[in-house]
Amino acid sequence: MKHWELFVIPTFFLFFISGCSDSASFSQPIAYNHKKHIEEAGLGCFDCHTQVLTHQKANIPNVEFCKNCHETPMTDSKEEEKLVGYIQENQPIPWIQVHRVPDHAYFSHRRHVSLGKVACQDCHGDVNNMTLPFSKPFYPIKMQFCITCHEKNRVNTDCATCHR
C-alpha cells in the first residue's frame, strides 16, 4: 500500500462516520431554554403547547404567543434578542420539526396525554432540565418504543390501532 493511501482511506472513513451520526441532528434558530421557562417563569408544558390536550397534533407557539411576554426584551440575552427580532418583523420562527411520526402511523397527543395520562417526559425525555432546544429526538421514534409502552400498560397492540 502506498503511503498516501494510509492517510486518505481512514480520513474518508472518519468523514463518512461523522457525516452519518450528525445527519439526524439539527440546529434550531434560537437556543430556547426550557429549564429557564419552567423553573424561573413558572410555565408548564401546556401553557405554551396549548393543543396537546385537545388536538391530535401538538403545536409550537407562534411569535404572537411569545409576544405576550417578550414584546420588549426581558433580559440582555442574545437569544432573546433574536426572538424580539422575529416578533418585531412579525416573522414565524423557522423551528425545525424534530419529532416526526411517519404518516403511516396514527398518533394523537390528545389520546396519549389527555386520555391515556402519559407524561410528556415519557416520550420527550427530561425536558424540564433542558437548557437547549431539541436537536434530535430524545428517544428514537421507532415502533418498538411504542410497543414496549403499550405492552407495559396493557393497551391494544393490534396493528390497525395505529397503522393506517
Partner 1 sequence: MKWGMVIDLQKCTGCGECAAACKLENNVAIVAHKESEMGRTMLWMDMLTIYEGEYPRLRVRQIPRPCMHCDHPPCTKVCPVRATYINEEGIVAQIYPQCIGCRYCMAACPYTVKSFNWYKPSFPPGMARTTNPDVSVRPVGVVEKCTFCIHRLQIAREQAKSEARDLRENDYQPACGASCPTGAIVFGDLENANHQVNRLAHNPRATKLLEDLGTEPKVIYLKEVD
The span of 15-23, 84-92, 108-116, 117-125 binding partner 1 (CB under 8 A) equals: 108-116
Q: Quick check: 100 binds partner 1 (CB under 8 A)?
A: no
CA quadruple 24, 43, 80, 78: dihedral sign: negative
3-state secondary structure of 106: coil
According to DSSP, residue 128 is labeled G
Q: Quick check: 111 binds partner 1 (CB under 8 A)?
A: yes
Residue 155: closest CA among 142, 163, 146, 164: 146
Site for partner 1 in 54-73 (CB under 8 A): 56
The span of 62-70, 80-88, 105-113, 121-129 binding partner 1 (CB under 8 A) equals: 105-113
**Interface map 130-159 toward partner 1 (x if CB under 8 A):** ----------------------------xx
CA-derived radius of gyration, the chain: 20
- When the beta carbons of 34 and 112 are compared against partner 1, the nearer one is 112
- When the beta carbons of 1 and 159 are compared against partner 1, the nearer one is 159
The Cα–Cα gap between 92 and 66 comes to 11
Q: Which residues of 3-23 are buried (b: 16+ CB within 10 A; e: fewer)?
A: eeeeeeeeeeeeeeeeeeeee
Q: Which of 104, 117, 152, 154 binds partner 1 (CB under 8 A)?
A: 104
Q: How many residues bind partner 1 (CB under 8 A)?
A: 17
Cell of 7: 492517510
- When the beta carbons of 89 and 103 are compared against partner 1, the nearer one is 103
Please give the residue ranges that form the binding site for partner 1 (CB under 8 A).
56, 102-104, 106, 108, 110-111, 114-115, 158-164
